[in-house]
Structures are given as structure tokens and as C-alpha cells.
Amino acid sequence: MGKLTTHVLDTAHGCPGAGIRVELYAIGADGRTLLKSALTNDDGRCAEALLEGAALLAGQYELVFHAGDYYAARGVDLPSPRFLDRIALGFGIADPAQNYHVPLVMTPWSYSTYRGS
């Protein structure tokens, strides 16, 4: 059985993104449905899988990372409105038997992601 996990790396400070609120949504014909909300730990990871086993279904999902709040709490001088505030990553799960790891690598001005396992 597969699982969905994530973690955040703050490349502006060269450290894991600790204490970032992450929301997971299922995307369907009726819009977005919040499935889970979590905070990243000191290693920038959520303490448990966001979805796993029978809860991991094929379909479209979105992860929303509250990056602006994280950088503001770190004392980073951000413009108003923030250039990057909430970073939304839309992705699909084709085979729920596989592991899907969706990391976020970010600064206050840029981000990237990739599919890990």
C-alpha cells in the first residue's frame, strides 16, 4: 500500500522548514475538499503520512504550504502583500499502490518541487 508524504527545505536559511502549516485538499468536480492539516516538525516533515493505505486514492490533490507566515515568524522583511504567501502545489496520484513524496524547496522569492518516493 502506498502513502503520500511531504517535507519542506528552506534554502534561504539552509535548514528544514519547521513549523509550517500544510493543508492537503482533494480536487474533484465539486471543488476542493480539505482532507488534512498538519505542521512540519523540526526536520521539516509532517510527523505522519498525509494519506496512506485505503485513504490514498487515485485522483487530483493540492498541497498548500503557508510559507509567508513561516518567513514572517523568522523575522524576514517581506513586502505587503507578500510575493509568496501560500504556495499551492497541484499534483495527481495515478497509482495508489506507490509512494508519493512531494517536497517543497523554497525561499521567500521562489520554490520548486519534484516527485520523490
Per-block mean pLDDT, blocks of 10 residues, the chain (117 long)? 96 98 97 98 97 97 98 96 98 97 98 95
Annotated binding site for substrate: 7, 45, 114
pTM for the structure as a whole: 0.96
Task: Give CA–CA dist 101/17, Å, rounded.
Answer: 16
Q: What confidence score (pLDDT) does residue 86 get?
A: 98
- Domain total for the chain? 1
Burial class (CB in 10 A: 0-12, 13-18, 19+), 42: exposed
- In 3D, which of 82, 77, 79 has the Cα closest to residue 65? 82
Annotated binding site: 7, 45, 114
Task: Give CA–CA dist 44/1, Å, rounded.
Answer: 24
**In which domain, by residue range, is 109 found?**
3-113
